[in-house]
A and B are shown apart, each in its own frame.
Chain A
Amino acid sequence: MDGEATDFFAATFSIEEEDHTLANSLRFFLNKNPHVSFCGYSMPHPSEELVNLRVQTTGQVTAMQAVKAACEDLQQVCGHMRSTLTSAVAKYQQDEQAREQQTR
């Protein structure tokens, strides 16, 4: 993105070295943002690792801020998933050990 375009309310972000894994998740979190009026992504060609993310806002936030917020939300969700998984696995292993001791 050009330097002076950070205060636009509609922008297309060209993200290199990324694919549907990141783009679809970002699109989901952007759609959850009430200030975003339109959000979509496309891959110009599947052999090329390039994603074009289009964001249009209502004017209350800039497109840059909306994408930044979506990235932070995604980070939080991933962190939450990780901690939930770690605690669930630890609990499962504890229950297994308790069950083994009971059957002995």
Chain B
Amino acid sequence: MVFELTNTDVSSANALRRVMIAEVPTIAIDLVEMENNTTVLNDEFLAHRLGLIPLTSDEATNWKRPFEWSSDHDMIETSFSLDVTCTVDGVMDVTSNDLIPMYPEHRVQPANYNTPEEKPIVICKLRRGQQLKLVARARKGIGKDHAKFIPVATAVFQFKPRIVLSHSAMADMTDDEKQAFVHSDPSKTFKFNPITRMVRLRRDGDWHPDPGAG
């Protein structure tokens, strides 16, 4: 889905962008209790990687943040367990599909959990005999607290230019000049119609910046 914002000001668009990045709450793993780690990666490294795994956060609005006032009935965290031992010769991947929700009724799980068409996120790789066993607790947070809570890959906005072609100028140009004008744009915004001998916008005013620029 592409969203178009019209009849507003830069500051509103920018505020929307800033809020999308920093202040939309999401759920991510915040606390990791290691029981056994004989992998090549150390504990805090694995905890950092686990925190960055995106979790489905539709429930985030109903939860309370860790230091926010909450009563006994409010949701503040859920837990995942991970218990993988490599028993085969060769390298075994520990992926986000191995994170088992301890409370499935909370409806929080890693993104694309057990989806066959999507590749899961690799947490670490094991060799024969190595084991990883832990319990991870996920909490609600916002982008300002830690980058793992940022829900968007990135949020950008761009002015959509209004391109108006001057018909009087076009009447003065020869066909070759018009074609040269059309070819000079690497993004191919314009199109030359040889029958009417007119230059027009290619896709109803869509404009994209040069892929090599910026």
Q: Which residues of A contact B (CB under 8 A)?
A: 19-22, 24-25, 27-28, 77, 81, 85, 89, 92
Contacts and interface: CB of A to CB of B under 8 A. Distances in A.
Interface stretch (B7-15, B48-56, B117-125, B197-205): B7-15
B18 A77 contact: no
Contacts of B14: 20-21, 24
Given A19-B18, A77-B8, 10 more contacts: A20-B14, A21-B22, A22-B15, A24-B11, A25-B15, A27-B11, A28-B9, A77-B12, A85-B3, A92-B1
Interface residues of B, number: 13
B1 A28 contact: no
Interface of B: 1, 3, 8-9, 11-12, 14-16, 18-19, 22-23
A24 B1 contact: no
Contacts of A81: 8, 12, 16
A81 B18 CA distance: 16
Contact of A20 (B3, B9, B18, B23): B18
A1 B19 CA distance: 27
A21 B1 contact: no
Nearest to B16: A81
B18 A21 contact: yes
A75 to B, nearest CB: 12
A-B pairs, 7 with minimum CB distance:
A28-B11, A21-B18, A24-B11, A25-B15, A21-B15, A25-B11, A28-B9
A81 B8 CA distance: 10
Nearest to B9: A28
A21 B12 contact: no
